[in-house]
C-alpha cells in the first residue's frame, strides 16, 4: 500500500459496496488506487498535478486557485471553479475527497455545496488529520447523514482514518 492512495479498509469498503456494480465514482485527487478502481468502475478524477493523471479514468486537469473557504481555513486553494462547474449536472455513486494534498488543503470544496448532492455517499480520506476531520464533520452537518462510518487502521506510515458519510 502506497502513501498516495486510500487505506486498505477504505478500498475494501468500496470493493464490497460496489462489487456487483459498475459504479460511477468522482475522485478529487488521483492516487495509486485510482487506476485499479477504474478497471471495474467508471472514474472521473479532478487532479491538479499532471504527473498523477492515470490511465483508465476520465481525468480533468484543474489548477489550484484561490478560494474563499481555503483562505478561511488558512489553506492554499482548491481546484479551478471552471473545471468544477463541468460536474454540476452529473450524478455519481460515490465521491472520494482525497485531494489536493493536505499541504494545499481540501476545505475549498465547501465553496461548492452542490457537489454534495451529486452522490449519496462521500468518503473523506485522511480524517486522522485535523483539517480533513473538520472537513468531514462540516460535510456531515450540511448533509444530515443517515450513517457515518469511520475506517481506522494502522500502517507503516502510522494510524490513518477515512470517514464515509452516507446520506439520503
Q: What does the mean pLDDT of the chain come to?
A: 91
Q: What percent of the chain has pLDDT over 70?
A: 96
Average pLDDT over residues 124-139: 95
Give first-to-last CA distance, the chain, whole Å: 32
Phi-psi region of 59 (alpha: psi -120 to 50; beta: other; left: phi over 0): beta
The alpha carbons of the chain give a radius of gyration, in whole angstroms, of: 15
Cα–Cα–Cα angle for 36, 108, 113, rounded to 5 degrees = 90
Least confident of 28-37, 70-79, 87-96: 28-37
Residue 2 pLDDT exceeds 70? no
Question: How far are the Cα atoms of 70, 113, 159 from residue 108, in angstroms, in the given order?
Answer: 5, 10, 25
**For residue range 102-129, what is the model confidence (pLDDT) as tens digits?**
899 999 999 999 999 999 999 999 999 9
Predicted confidence band of residue 1 (pLDDT cuts 50, 70, 90): very low
Amino acid at each position: 500500500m502506497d502513501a498516495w492512495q486510500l487505506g486498505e479498509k477504505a478500498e475494501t469498503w468500496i470493493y464490497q459496496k460496489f462489487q456487483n456494480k459498475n459504479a460511477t465514482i468522482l475522485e478529487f485527487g488521483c492516487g495509486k488506487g485510482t487506476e485499479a478502481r477504474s478497471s471495474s468502475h467508471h472514474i472521473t478524477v479532478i487532479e491538479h498535478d499532471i504527473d498523477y493523471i492515470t490511465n483508465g479514468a476520465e481525468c480533468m486537469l484543474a489548477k489550484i486557485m484561490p478560494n474563499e473557504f481555503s483562505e478561511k481555513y488558512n489553506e492554499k486553494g482548491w481546484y479551478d471553479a471552471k473545471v468544477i462547474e463541468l460536474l454540476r449536472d452529473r450524478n455519481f455513486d460515490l465521491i472520494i475527497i482525497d485531494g489536493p494534498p493536505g499541504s494545499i488543503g481540501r476545505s475549498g470544496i465547501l465553496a461548492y455545496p452542490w457537489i454534495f448532492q451529486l452522490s449519496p455517499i462521500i468518503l473523506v480520506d485522511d480524517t486522522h488529520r485535523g483539517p480533513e476531520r473538520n472537513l468531514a464533520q462540516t460535510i456531515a452537518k450540511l448533509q444530515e447523514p443517515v450513517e457515518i462510518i469511520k475506517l481506522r487502521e494502522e500502517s507503516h506510515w502510522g494510524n490513518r482514518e477515512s470517514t464515509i458519510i452516507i446520506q439520503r
